[in-house]
Amino acid sequence: MRIRYGFRIALDCAMPTVASFALDVHTSRQADVLTASPLFMRCGPQDVSHTMATDMFGNVRRRAVLPPGRTVVEHHGVIHDSGRPDAVNLSAGQVPVDQLPEEAMTFLLGSRYCETDLLAQEAWSRFGHVPEGWARVQAICDFVHDHIAFNYQNADRTRTAAGALREGRGVCRDFAHLAITLCRSMNIPARYCTGYLGDIGVPRDPAPMDFSAWFEAYLDGRWYSFDARHNIPRIGRVVMARGRDAADVAIVNTFGPHGLAGFEVWTDEMGAERVAA
């Protein structure tokens, strides 16, 4: 299938402000992009110049000095997707720590929003009896899905996994952070993902669209997508960035004050035709 995606973000700055963006489709999905606009960055009629690089996680980073006034950042495109739901492998086993590849080891450690030192005892007491592998990760997702009440009004950029467990509320990033932390506490590598997730194959959500967060767990030598918020396999995930937690993949980081003046995200299936994967 073909998926249309894009965004339009407006930022107000009172003075020249350095900003870093992680808004491109991830390098691992670039080959699937069929058409894409340039990433436009404008302040009034003036184009804002920016640089582009790839970070340690394969995320595309753009950096610019935003001038005083309102800068609009916009991008859109069409990407090919298999049209299949997230892969499910009930027999996928847990890889012993001594056999993990080095790149997976990073995703066993605690990080800014994922305090494995605080939640390890909680994890083992709740899930130590569950068979290792897929069943254990799914049990963690089931718990987080049932424990956290989703509400956009409950968003808090300072809330950590421990905070989400304590408060029992949050948004998609909180579901991901808590599930990631519980997985890592049980020696299952887990990494944070952000990107597009449209209402494909599910009833349309009337709320304004936003970027989504989910996570990937390393089982049987590969990464599998899990989503503790929705807790069902979904169609059409388009990853933009991966990292240890939300701090690594923030869509915008400014090194100075700014105001968010506009935010639109769109992603949906184009037509009914299906293209062979």
| Helix (H) and strand (E) counts in the chain | 5, 16
Residues 76 and 148 grouped into a single domain: no
Has residue 19 got a pLDDT over 50? yes
Has residue 273 got a pLDDT over 50? no
Residues 199 and 160 grouped into a single domain: yes
Supply the range of the domain harboring residue 258: 2-82+251-269
Residues 77 and 207 grouped into a single domain: no
Say how far residue 96 (Cα) sits from the centre of its chain: 26
212 occurs within a structural domain: yes
Residues 26 and 142 grouped into a single domain: no
Does this model's pTM top 0.85? yes
Residues 63 and 143 grouped into a single domain: no
> Given the DSSP bridges, would you call strands 190-196 and 238-243 parallel, antiparallel or unpaired?
antiparallel
CA–CA separation, 134 and 141 (whole Å): 11
Give residue 47's identity as a one-letter amino acid code.
D
Has residue 264 got a pLDDT over 90? yes
Residues 65 and 198 grouped into a single domain: no
277 occurs within a structural domain: no
Number of domains into which the chain is organized: 2
pLDDT, mean of residues 136-149:
98
Query: What stretches of the chain show up as alpha helix (H) in DSSP?
Result: 102-105, 116-127, 134-147, 161-167, 172-185
Could you give the 3-state DSSP secondary structure of residue 264?
Answer: strand
229 occurs within a structural domain: yes
CA–CA separation, 237 and 214 (whole Å): 10
CA-nearest of 122, 231, 246, 141 to 186 is: 122
CA-nearest of 28, 31, 24 to 5 is: 24
Neighbours of 167 (CB within 10 A): 15
182 occurs within a structural domain: yes
211 occurs within a structural domain: yes
Residues 70 and 113 grouped into a single domain: no
pLDDT of residue 152: 85
Which tokens is 20 given?
A: 């870093």
pLDDT of residue 233: 97
180 occurs within a structural domain: yes
Which tokens is 169 given?
A: 């509320």
89 occurs within a structural domain: no
Summarised one tens digit per residue, pLDDT across range 207-261 is 889 999 999 999 999 999 999 999 999 999 999 999 999 999 999 999 999 999 9
- Residue 87 DSSP symbol: P
Neighbours of 14 (CB within 10 A): 11
Mean of all residue pLDDT scores within the chain:
95
pLDDT of residue 272: 45
pLDDT of residue 154: 84
Residues 117 and 57 grouped into a single domain: no
Residues 241 and 142 grouped into a single domain: yes
Summarised one tens digit per residue, pLDDT across range 162-176 is 999 999 999 999 999
pLDDT, mean of residues 7-33:
97
Q: For the chain, what is the radius of gyration of the CA atoms?
A: 19
pLDDT of residue 249: 96
Backbone angles phi, psi at 94, to 5 degrees: -80, 135
Summarised one tens digit per residue, pLDDT across range 178-193 is 999 999 999 999 999 9
Summarised one tens digit per residue, pLDDT across range 87-107 is 999 999 999 999 999 999 999
pLDDT of residue 277: 32
Beta bridge partners of 47: 42
Which tokens is 267 given?
A: 């992603």
Residues 112 and 213 grouped into a single domain: yes
CA distances from 18 to 208, 249, 273 (A): 28, 17, 43
pLDDT of residue 276: 36
CATH number at residue 45: 2.60.40.2250
Residues 195 and 265 grouped into a single domain: no
